[in-house]
Amino acid sequence: MALVRLPKITLATLPTPVQPLPRLAAALGGGFSLWVKRDDLTGLALGGNKTRKLELLLAEAQAKGSRVVITTGAVQSNHCRQTAAAAARLGLRAILVLTGQPEAPQPTGNRFLMHLLGADIRWTSRETRDQVMQEVFQAAWEAGERPYLIPYGGSSPLGAAAYVYALEELLAQGPAPDVIVLATSSGGTQAGLVAGARLLGYRGRILGISVDEPADVLRPRIADLASQVLDRFRARATVAPGDIEVVDEYARPGYGVMTQREVEAITLAARTEGLLVDPVYTGRALAGLIDLLRQGAFPSGSRILFWHTGGTPALWASPYREALAT
Ligand SMILES: Cc1ncc(COP(=O)(O)O)c(C=O)c1O
């Protein structure tokens, strides 16, 4: 069955490459094949998974005549950096409501890039975030800018739908993997892949490694989002929380807390494959995958694909850069 084609604009350079990781696989004892889908190379201002989502979200914003986009994230948000870049490319204003404190003395990593990309930054806390978003929205509305609100992580059903097309892209690139492993946070990427699997008949596993939230929070959220994505594609199916695979044991140190596990994953990928992963998302997910492979968690001979969702600018962010440089 042909997929519904939702309106999108072009921001990414697609398809992103699928590459083998033989030296990393050998360093982990072998007995499986390891691949990476390079969504760190989506091409917009240092890439990442949000660029695909923004192709759909900003098509809707343009259709609505919006002149400003508003979104939110943490100080080192890759989503906010890519939103700022996409807005610049389309001649829109980006207002980024960041949770946390302005960095002193100098912004680094993604936060530095948000500045460079010309975003209008507002500071808030987790508790006041929704209220500040609402106030910013109201002010832009009253100024006649028809603001377009993008939720945390770009993970509305429309944003997540981008990963239906991403799975379609992957399946056209070669034999289907037995397992797809990815970093999961707001859940949109995994929800889109799960919905895509239903629509495209992909029968492999889609294993999300949580970077922050417990699995019993993420499973129902991702299932609900995947069901709403299916609805966008006019499929009647629904996804149940029990259909969603999430591992949360690597999230325990908390969001953005880089431990020895992430340091090992980052340096191993860099030194065996010249592949850069980040301290917050892909480093944690790869650390989880490495641990699972060492435990022999997948059947021998499995074809395993690590979906690299980006985030590498955080390697240059303090305090990660300093910790990794020692
Ligand atoms: C580099 C990176 N990987 C993974 C994710 C998680 O994607 P999602 O929010 O769709 O679960 C994010 C989200 O911010 C990210 O920036």
**Domain assignment of residue 105, yes or no:** yes
The rounded Å distance from CA 81 to ligand 1 centre is 12
Is 312's C-beta closer than 6 angstroms to any atom of ligand 1? no
Q: Tokens 């999108």 map to which residue?
A: 8
Task: Compute the distance between CA of residue 214 and CA of residue 313 in angstroms, rounded to an integer.
Answer: 26
**Contact assessment for residue 190 and residue 184, using Cβ atoms and an 8 Å cutoff:** yes
Same domain, 218 and 298: yes
Q: Is 12 left (phi over 0), alpha (psi -120 to 50) or beta?
A: beta
Distance 130 CA to ligand 1 centre (A): 20
- 98, 128, 154: which is the final residue of a domain? 154
Same domain assignment for residues 83 and 27? no
Distance in angstroms (rounded) separating the CA atoms of residues 285 and 273? 17
In short, whether 185's Cβ falls inside 6 Å of ligand 1 is yes
Residue 176 domain-assigned? yes
CATH number of domain containing 221: 3.40.50.1100
Catalytic residues: 77
Is residue 54 located within the same domain as residue 41?
A: no
User: Is there a single domain that holds both residue 176 and residue 254?
Assistant: yes
SS3 string, the chain, reads CCCCCCCCCCCCCCCCCEEECHHHHHHCCCCCEEEEEEHHHCCCCCCCCHHHHHHHHHHHHHHCCCCEEEEEEECCCHHHHHHHHHHHHHCCEEEEEEECCCCCCCCCHHHHHHHHCCCEEEEECCCCHHHHHHHHHHHHHHCCCCCEECCHHHCCHHHHCHHHHHHHHHHCCCCCCCEEEEEECCCHHHHHHHHHHHHHCCCCEEEEEECCCCHHHHHHHHHHHHHHHHHHCCCCCCCCHHHCEEECCCCCCCCCCCCHHHHHHHHHHHHHHCCCCCCCCHHHHHHHHHHHHHCCCCCCCCEEEEEECCCHHHHHCCCHHHHHCC
Q: Are residues 220 and 315 in the same domain?
A: yes
Q: How far is the CA of 185 from the centre of ligand 1 (A)?
A: 6
Kindly report the number of other CB atoms within 10 A of residue 102's CB atom. Answer: 10
Does residue 5 lie within any of the structural domains? no
Distance from chain centroid for Cα 323: 24
Predicted local confidence at residue 105, as pLDDT: 73
Domain limit, last residue, from 126, 154, 182: 154
Which phi and psi (to 5°) does residue 258 adopt? Answer: -80, 125
Between CA 57 and CA 51 the distance in angstroms is 10
User: Same structural domain for residues 199 and 299?
Assistant: yes
Q: 281 in ligand 1 pocket by Cβ < 6 Å? A: yes
Pair 75, 168 in one domain:
no
- Total count of domains within the chain: 2
Domain that holds residue 172: 18-48+156-324
Q: Is 282 in the pocket of ligand 1 (CB under 6 A)?
A: yes
Q: Are 66 and 215 in the same domain?
A: no
Q: Which residue in this structure is represented by tokens 């020895």?
A: 260
CB 79 near ligand 1, within 6 Å: yes
What's the rounded Cα separation, in Å, for the pair 282 and 308? Answer: 6
| Amino acid at residue number 261 | R
Note whether 163 and 230 are within 8 A (CB). Answer: no
Residues 190 and 255 in one domain: yes
pLDDT tens digits, one per residue of 246-303:
999 999 999 999 999 999 999 999 999 999 999 999 999 999 999 999 999 999 999 9
Residues 6+ apart with CB under 8 A from 52: 12, 14, 39, 42, 162, 163, 165, 166
Both 171 and 147 in one domain: the answer is no
Same domain as 62, residue 42: no
- Give me the pLDDT at residue 1, please: 67
Last residue of a domain, one of 109, 135, 154: 154
Q: Ligand 1 center to residue 110 CA distance, Å?
A: 14
Over its length of 326 residues, how does the chain's per-residue pLDDT go in tens digits? 689 999 999 999 999 999 999 999 999 999 999 999 999 999 999 999 999 999 999 999 999 999 999 999 999 999 999 999 999 999 999 999 999 988 767 899 999 999 999 999 999 999 999 999 999 999 999 999 999 999 999 999 999 999 999 999 999 999 999 999 999 999 999 999 999 999 999 999 999 999 999 999 999 999 999 999 999 999 999 999 999 999 999 999 999 999 999 999 999 999 999 999 999 999 999 999 999 999 999 999 999 999 999 999 999 999 999 999 98
Q: What is the pLDDT of residues 15-26, one digit of tens each?
A: 999 999 999 999
Residue with tokens 């996409």: 86
Which ligand 1 atom lies nearest to the CA of residue 309?
Answer: 3
Which atom from ligand 1 is nearest to the alpha carbon of 314? 1
Q: Which of 282, 255, 253 is nearest to 269 (CA)?
A: 282
Amino acid 321: pLDDT? 94
Q: Are 130 and 103 in contact (CB under 8 A)?
A: no
Give the Cα separation of 225 and 172 in Å (integer): 25
- Residues 162, 257, single domain; the answer is yes
